Structures are given as structure tokens and as C-alpha cells.
Amino acid sequence: MSDMNNKVALVTGASSGIGRATAKLFADKGAKVVVAARRQDELDALVSEIQSQGSEATAIQTDVCKVADVERMVDHAIKTFGRLDYAVNNAGIEGRFASITELSEADWDQVLGINLKGTFLGLQHQARAMLAAGNGGAIVNVGSVNSFLGVATGAAYCTSKHGLIGLTSSVSAELASQGIRVNLVCPGIIDTPMHKRLRRDIGDEVYDQALPSVHLQRAGEPEEIAQAIVFLCSDAASYITGTTLTPDGGFTLTI
């Protein structure tokens, strides 16, 4: 993978799971890292870990569905490190899974606000910073296999993730001529805190029924998804934009 020394990467939803693993991998590749999430304590711990390994990192508490927070997040990256080369819009929630007849407007707004609007706001401000610098860049949005697979009682979550396909494709078409690549990564069943919550909510038996459908017969690890994300940001992926990469162990091939 290409050298990322002196490049700057911004990762949202970095306090745990895929976001945390991605931030650490960027640092391992030599990038300076800006980590953002709502949980300050977890961000501070991550920054300390990255710094203890000799890399540079900074944290900023961010609610991605608030435009002022997103603007402040990107400004913080520029003021701290002077540039923005890579951005990963990973922040997301599963929200409440409920029948369409029972799902409340507040439930819907919360999930769409973070997962879809939050990604839109991130893209908007990240693109503005990259365009102003004129050095190109790479942005990766994080969806899910539910970006193309619906699931009963998951209308809000699946809709928010479906929307990322159109958002990514549209913004890629707009920014490609100016040297900014935009791609979407859609993980499958990954061993993250979100999936642990889903297992708790739907029960072990129901959750485990999905694993035999995974060709590799196991859940993925956050670090495996981080590899896909950082690859798409790297020069090794210089001819890849507007695409959807699905690291799911073969899960969607069996549906």
C-alpha cells in the first residue's frame, strides 16, 4: 500500500469498532489522524494509544448531524495539521428496529439524521476543504450490506444505508474531475459493539442463523474492514471512484 507519510486522515465514528480500527491503521501507514465521535473519553484514549506508538493524532467531539459540529470538525483538521487528504464517514447507529406500523417519527429522524444526513454534511465540508486546497483527496463512506438488502423491522436503518449508494455515486461524479475520489464500503457481519447490541436485541438464535450464509463461516473483524477503507484512500486505488466495495465474507452472494 502506498506511503501515507505527511498525509492527514479524518475518521468519524472513531470511538469504537470500524472507525477506531481505521484510525489506527491510517496512523500505522504514516498519516496524521483526526478522530471524531460523540464520546470524548474514548477518543482521548484512542489518541493516547496512537501517540504512544509514535504517530500524530488529535480528537474532536462531534455530532455529525449538527452542521456546526461538522464544520468545526473539518476546521479543526485544517488548523491542526494544515491539510485534509482522506476522510472516512463512518459514524452511524442502528437505531430502533420496529414494525413500520410502530416505528415513530423520532426513531426515523434519529437514524436518517446520523447515518444519511451526517454523511451528507461530512461530504459537503470535507469536499469544500479539499477543493480549496486543490490537492485532490479521497473520501470513503461506510454503508452496510443493508445498503442493498432490506430486513424486516429495519426500515429506518436500511433506508439510511440504501441512500448512501446514491449519495456516493452522485458526489463521485461531481468531484472526480477535480481529483477527489469518493467510494462506499459496505461491511457484512462484523464483530463490533453495534453487532453485539443487535445480537442482544434479536437474540443469539436469530443472529446465529445468519452466519451459515457467510461463505467464510464467521463474522469479520473491524481491522479487516479498515484494510478495505484505507486501501480505497491510497494511491493503490487511484482508478477507483464511485464504486461500492462489499467486504462481507461472501454473505450477499447467498441472499
Catalytic positions, please?
Answer: 157
Q: Residue 20: in which H helix or E strand, if any? A: helix 17-28
Would you tell me how many other CB atoms lie within 10 Å of the CB of residue 110? 17
Q: Cα 231–33–5 angle (5° rounding)?
A: 65
State the alpha helices, DSSP H only, in 61-210. Answer: 67-81, 105-112, 118-133, 155-175, 193-202, 204-210
Question: What type of residue sits at position 209?
Answer: Q
Query: Residue 150 is placed in which grid cell?
Result: 432490506
Q: What is the CA radius of gyration of the chain?
A: 17
List Cβ neighbours of 195 (8 Å cut-off, separation of 6 or more): 189, 219
196-203 — which CB contacts under 8 Å span 24+ positions?
197/94, 198/94, 201/97, 202/97
CA distance 6 to 173: 28
The answer to whether residues 88 and 24 touch, using CB atoms and an 8 Å cutoff, is: no
CA geometry: angle 168, 184, 153, nearest 5 deg: 90
In whole angstroms, give the CA distance from residue 82 to residue 27: 17
